[in-house]
A and B are shown apart, each in its own frame.
Chain A
C-alpha cells in the first residue's frame, strides 16, 4: 500500500490509539452526559431563535438562557467532583481519516482535566449570573433585540465550551472562531450606531490576525507530530518521541504562532486595540465576554500548550515582556480616561498583561489564579458600570457623576463596586492581592532576560492600577451627590413617578435581578481568595486549590514546587538544584511581595482618595500644572490620547491600504473599464458615425445612393472585364 492511498474508515474498526497510550487518560464513556455542558447553550440558542421568529414580547428568552446555563454549570460542578484524573469523553465521530503511514483524527470529544474544570466553572457560573443580570438590563429592548441578545450569549457559551473542553486543537479552533463570531455579534448588537458597527468590525478583523497564527500553529503541530489530540501530543512530548520527527524550525515556530493567536484573542500589545472599542456592546457582554471569560482564552491556550513553550524558552521571555509592557501601557492609558467602561476595559488589558507576565515567568499557577479572581472582580466592576449606565441614561463620564453611595437605591451598586475595586487594586487580603503577588514574586524568582526590571515595571503598574481604580470609585460613588443624565433616555419608562425628558430626570435604581447578581459576584470576588489558603493534596506544592487544579493538567510545569523543569530555564523552588534564588531587599520574593504590594497598593489608594475625594480641586490643579509646563505637557496629552496608538495604526496600516485601494480602483476604472472595455465598445460607434448621414429620411437620396452604388458596381465590373481580357460577354 503506497503512502498516497488514503482510506477513510470508521474509527472503531481500526486501532486509533497512539503507539504508547497515555497511561493516566481515562476513556470515560459513562460520562456522556458531560456533553450537555455544550448542548444546553445550543438548545437555548435554538429556542431563542424561535422566540425571535415568533416575536415573543416577554422575558422568555432570558429565562431559557439562564436555565440552560445553570444546567451547564451544574453539570460542570458534578463533573469536577467526580474525577480528578484527566479523562476523554467521546461524543461523536467528527473527522477520522487514516492512511498507510498517518492519520488525521479530530473527534467531537471532550478532554476533561482540572484546568478544563477550573475554566468551565467560572465560564458557566459567571455566564449564568450575567445572563440573569442581562434579563433586567436589556429590558428596554424587550420584543426588539431581546431574543437576539440571548441567542448571542448562548452561541458564545457553546463556543467557549468547545474551546475549553475540546479534546483536540481543531475543536479548540472551532470554539476560538465561535467566540470571535459571538463577540462580533454582540459588540454590534446596537447595529444602528455606526460606532458599534465599526467596533465590531475592528474586533473581528484584528482577531483574524491572531486566528491566522492559530491555524498555522495547528497545521504545523499536525505536520510535525502527526496528531492534534492533546493526550497524544502530551504523551509524545513526555516521552521525547517527538525527537524522531523533530524538525527544529517547526518546533521553534509553534510557540510563536500560538503566541500570536493568544495575543490577538487576549488583547496584548500589538493587537490590543480592539478591546477598548468593544465596549460599544451592551454592558453584560463587556462583563462576560470582554472581561471575564473570552479574553482569557489566550491564557488558556498557552497554559494548555505549555510543554510546547518549554521546548523553546525564548518564546516565554517574549510572552513575559509583551505581557509586562502591555500591563504598563494599558494602565497609563486607563489613568487618563474619563469613560468608566473604557477605564475598566484598559484595566482588563492591563490585567491580562499581568497574566501573560505570569505565564512568561513560569507560573501557570499564578496566571490561572489571576484569571480566576479577575473573572469575578472584573465582572462585578463592569456590571456596576452597566447599572450606572442603565440608571443614568447612558452616562459614563466620571466627571458628571458623584456621590452614588448616598443616593437611595444605589448603595448596593456603590459597595459592590468598592469590593471590585479593592480586589483589582490588590488591597491586602483580597483575592486580587494574592493572585497578583503570585505573579509579581515569580518575576523576581525566575531567571530570564531583564525579568527583575520586568518585576519592578509590574510593581509600578500595580501602583497605577490601585490609583486609577479608586479614581473611578472616589469620583462616582463617593463625594457630594451630583449627577448629569446621559442622552439615552428610555422612552418605555418603567417608573411610576415619570420623568420629563432632561430636567425632571430621575435615575432609576437597579432592581432585584441586578442587585442580586452584583451581591453574589462581589461575594465570589471576596471568596476567591479562599482557594489560596486550602491545603494541598500533593505535599510538595503550595498555592491551595488552584495549584492542585493546575497541577493535574498539561500546565503542571508552572506550579510552585513542581519538580519537572527543562534544564534550560532556571526555576527553583525546591532548592535542591542550587540555582540562584532571586531576592528583593534581602527577603524571599514571595514574602517581600506581600509587603511591597500592600504598600504600593496603599499609596495608590491614598493618592486616589486625595486627588479625587478629599481635595478634588487638587486634581484639576495638578492637571493644569502639568499642561502648563512644556517639558512634561506631552505626558498627560499622550495618555489621554491613548499614546496615539490608533493613529499609528491608521498611518502604518490603514492609510497605505486605503491608498493602495484607491490606486487599484483607479486602475480598474480608467484602464480596465475605460480603455479596454469601453474603448472596444466605442469602435463600432465611431465607424457608424461616418455612415450615419446617409440615413437622412429622404426617399430620393436613398435612391441616388442606390443608383450611384449600382453604377459604381457596374463600372467596376466593366473595368475588371477589361483588365482580365477574355472573361465576360463577347
Chain B
C-alpha cells in the first residue's frame, strides 16, 4: 500500500503540480472576489501566494534548478511580513468602524 502509494507519487508529473497550483490559485481568487470579510479576503490572498509557491517549487524540481526553491523562501518571508502589516491594518480599520466589511471603505472613488 505504502509502496503502491509511493509508486503512484513517483509517477506524478509536472502537470499534476501545476494543476494543483492553478486550482489553489482559482480558489483563492474566487474567495477574494466573493467574500466581503477583510480577514477572509486576506487569507485568500495567502492561498494565492501558496499557489504561486507550489508552481515555483514544481518548476524548480522539474529543471533541477534551486532558483525556484530560493524564490519560495523569499515569498514566505515577504508573506510573513505582509501578513503582519495587513493584519495590523485590518485591526486599525476594525477600530474605526467596528466592522470587517470591505464595502464600508468606498470613499476613495471618483
Contact = CB atoms under 8 A, between A and B. Distances in A.
Interface string A685-709: 0000000110111111001100100
B105 A692 contact: no
A692 B33 contact: no
> Which has the most chain B C-beta neighbours within 10 Å: A697, A699, A707?
A699
Nearest to A701: B33
Interface in A672-730: 692-693, 695-700, 703-704, 707
A697 B108 contact: yes
B75 interface: no
Q: How large is the interface on A (under 10, 10 to 19, 20 to 34, 35 or more residues)?
A: 10 to 19
B106 A697 contact: yes
B106 A707 contact: no
A696 B103 contact: no
Contacts of A697: 105-109
> Which has the most chain A C-beta neighbours within 10 Å: B32, B107, B110?
B110
Q: How large is the interface on B (under 10, 10 to 19, 20 to 34, 35 or more residues)?
A: 10 to 19
B32 A703 contact: yes
Given A704-B33, A707-B29, A699 B102 contact: yes
A704 B110 CA distance: 18
Contacts of B107: 697
A707 B105 CA distance: 21
A703 B110 contact: no
A431 to B, nearest CB: 88
A700 B106 CA distance: 11
Q: Chain A's interface: helix, strand, loop or mixed, by majority? A: helix
B103 A698 contact: yes
Contacts of A696: 106, 109-110
A653 to B, nearest CB: 55
Contacts of B108: 695, 697
B109 A700 contact: no
Contacts of B32: 700, 703
A706 to B, nearest CB: 10
B66 to A, nearest CB: 20
Contacts of B41: 699
Contact of A707 (B33, B102, B103, B110): B33
A671 B55 CA distance: 61
Nearest to A698: B106
Contacts, number: 28
Contact of A695 (B33, B103, B105, B110): B110
Given A692-B110, A695-B109, A695-B110, A700 B102 contact: yes
B33 A700 contact: yes
A124 to B, nearest CB: 78
A169 to B, nearest CB: 71
Contacts of B29: 707
Nearest to A695: B110
A103 B106 CA distance: 83
Contacts of A695: 108-110
A699 B103 CA distance: 8
A707 B103 CA distance: 19
A5 B103 CA distance: 85
A692 B108 CA distance: 12
Contacts of B109: 695-698
A699 B105 contact: yes
Contacts of A698: 102-103, 106, 109
Interface string B76-110: 00000000000000000000000000110111111
B31 to A, nearest CB: 11
B21 to A, nearest CB: 15
Nearest to A697: B109
A406 B25 CA distance: 117
Nearest to B45: A703
Contacts of A700: 32-33, 102
Interface string B29-52: 100110000000100000000000
A157 B109 CA distance: 73
A326 B32 CA distance: 97
B97 to A, nearest CB: 14
A698 B29 CA distance: 16
Contacts of B106: 696-698
A513 B102 CA distance: 93
B88 to A, nearest CB: 18
B77 to A, nearest CB: 24
Interface string A52-78: 000000000000000000000000000
A693 B109 CA distance: 9
A188 to B, nearest CB: 56
A703 B103 contact: no
B81 to A, nearest CB: 21
A546 B85 CA distance: 107
B90 to A, nearest CB: 13
A505 to B, nearest CB: 73
Contacts of A704: 33
B86 to A, nearest CB: 13
A704 B34 CA distance: 10
14 contacts: A693-B110, A695-B109, A695-B110, A696-B106, A696-B109, A697-B105, A697-B107, A697-B108, A697-B109, A698-B109, A699-B102, A699-B105, A700-B32, A703-B32
Interface of B: 29, 32-33, 41, 102-103, 105-110
Interchain residue pairs A-B with the least CB separation, the first 10: A697-B109, A697-B106, A695-B110, A696-B109, A699-B102, A692-B110, A697-B108, A700-B33, A695-B109, A703-B33
Given A697-B106, A699-B102, 10 more contacts: A695-B108, A695-B109, A696-B106, A696-B109, A697-B107, A698-B109, A700-B32, A703-B32, A707-B29, A707-B33
